[in-house]
Amino acid sequence: MIRVEGLSHHFGGFHVLRDVWFHVPRGEIFGFIGPNGAGKTTTLRMMVTLLEPDEGRILVDGIDVVERPADARRIIGFMPDSFGVYDRVTVTEYLEFFAAAHGVALGARDRTVRAVMDLTELGQIREKLVSDLSKGMKQRLAIARTLLHDPQVLVLDEPANGLDPRARIEMRGLIEELRGLGKTIVLSSHILTELSDMVGAVVILERGRVLANGLVGEIGRRLRPDRGARLRLLHAPEGCEEAFRAVPGVVSVARRGVDVAVAYTGGDDVVAALVARGVGAGLAITRVEPDQDDLERIFLEVTRGDLQ
């Protein structure tokens, strides 16, 4: 859906992006992560036609965003990390304004605004002044604005920034609902645990370079071929780890109290074999925790924590 090819950019003498390549599959929630100053926002701003790259190109559904910005804007909805809203208008007037700006025909405008308000659950506050809305509701309103022209791609820069836990959960629900509608969503966030639950693929940027790109699980396996699992036993007799060591694929076993940590190569079949062997050896296994390919671990392993 989105192809970023050889993107480079500099501000003055400072190279903010260097030869960035990645690909966002259609209909996915795609995570865009990296430390501060990694070039995330610059890339997103280029994607949505707000900035022209020095080199490289971005194709969104085959449209070069630099050569055909008007066409690109028709299929992209963008919510920046810090955005403003017009204060002295109501929620409905705000959305009607942007619907008109997007060229939604006068006859269809009311219907479009109502549909978007239903989707984003803003109907109950439709007559409220925007200045009276909470931060979470303003964030919701900003997402509603990006949906008015029914874009295929949504680019959301830190959508959960500054929200309380409830608003974050609601925002996550809304994003997943939008994915359900077939939208391709590019999401930048610092809250990796939240992204973990939603994104299928990620790109990790640091100092303007791509450090990792692809499905989260694939990146995890590339980074660490050995996987791990933690088994908790009801009682851990001396020498019980020998039972697990005999399972094919197991690399190492270490016991600490009633917890046994196993490193192995292979898939989930090794975990199943570990459980079967333990039960066969008369061990009472109370919990099995295979290591997750979580974003936080990947992020920490991939990035060096350099500040720009």
Partner 1 sequence: MSAAPPLPPPTVPAPSGIAALRQRLTEALRDPNPILVRELRAIFRTSLFIRFLYVATAFVGVVVVAGGAIAAAGPLAPGDVGEIVFQTFFATALLVTALVAPGYAATTITGERESRTYESLLLSGMSPGRIVWGKFVAAYASFTLVLVALAPVVGVAFLFGGISPWHVVTGYVGLLYVLATAIAAGVAVSARLPSTRVAIVVAAPLSFGAAIVGTSTLAGLGELARDVWGTGMAGPFWFTDAIVVRFGEWDTFGLLVVLPTYLVVMVTWFFLATSVAAVQPAAEDRSTQLKVWSIVAVAGVWAIAAGVLALISRPDDRATAGLVVAGVGMAGTVALALLFSDEPPLPPRVAPAHSGAPAHSGAPARARPLAALLGPGAAPTLRFTAVVVVALAAGATLVPAAMRHALDRRFAEHWRFDVALMTIFLGGVASTLFIASLAAWLRIVLRSGLAARVLALCVWVVLLVLPLLAQLVVSPGSLVELDESVPLLARLSPLAPLFVAAGLAGKHLTAGAAFAAIAPLGLYALGAAVLWALTERRVVGIRAEVEARRARQAARAAQADAARAGSAGRGAAETAQGEGDAA
Is 101 one of the binding residues for partner 1 (CB under 8 A)? Answer: yes
For residues 79 and 102, what is the distance between their CA atoms, to the nearest angstrom? Answer: 15
Determine which residue in the list 61, 93, 121, 259 makes contact with partner 1, applying CB under 8 A. Answer: 93
Site for partner 1 in 274-303 (CB under 8 A): none
Among 11, 86, 235, 300, binds partner 1 (CB under 8 A): 86
DSSP secondary structure letters along 168-223: HHHHHHHHHHHHHTT-EEEEE-S-HHHHHHH-SEEEEEETTEEEEEEEHHHHHHHH
Query: Does residue 18 belong to the site contacting partner 1 (CB under 8 A)?
Result: no
From 64-72, 162-170, 193-201, 242-250, give the range in contact with partner 1 by CB under 8 A. Answer: 64-72
Q: Which of 62, 106, 165, 307 is in the footprint of partner 1 by CB under 8 A?
A: 106
Three-state DSSP state, 43: helix
**Residues from 30 through 49 that contact partner 1 (CB under 8 A):** 48-49
Q: Are 148 and 102 in contact (CB under 8 A)?
A: yes
Which of residues 68 and 190 has its CB atom nearest to partner 1 in the complex?
Answer: 68
Rule CB under 8 A: choose which of 145, 168, 183, 227 binds partner 1: 145
With CB under 8 A as the contact rule, the residue among 18, 57, 126, 232 that binds partner 1 is: 57
Shortest reach from residue 237's CB to partner 1, in Å: 38
Of 274, 286, 264, residue with least CA distance to 241: 274
Name the residue with tokens 């964030």. Answer: 139
Q: What distance in Å separates the CA atoms of residue 219 and residue 161, rounded to the nearest whole number?
A: 26
What span, in angstroms and rounded, lies between the C-alpha atoms of 285 and 68? Answer: 61
Residue 84 lies near partner 1 (rule: CB under 8 A)? yes
Q: Is 83 in the site for partner 1 (CB under 8 A)?
A: yes
Cβ atoms of residues 188 and 198 within 8 Å: no
Q: Which residues are near partner 1 by CB under 8 A?
A: 3, 5-6, 21, 23, 48-50, 52, 55-57, 66-71, 73-74, 76, 78, 80, 82-89, 93, 96-98, 100-103, 106, 145, 149
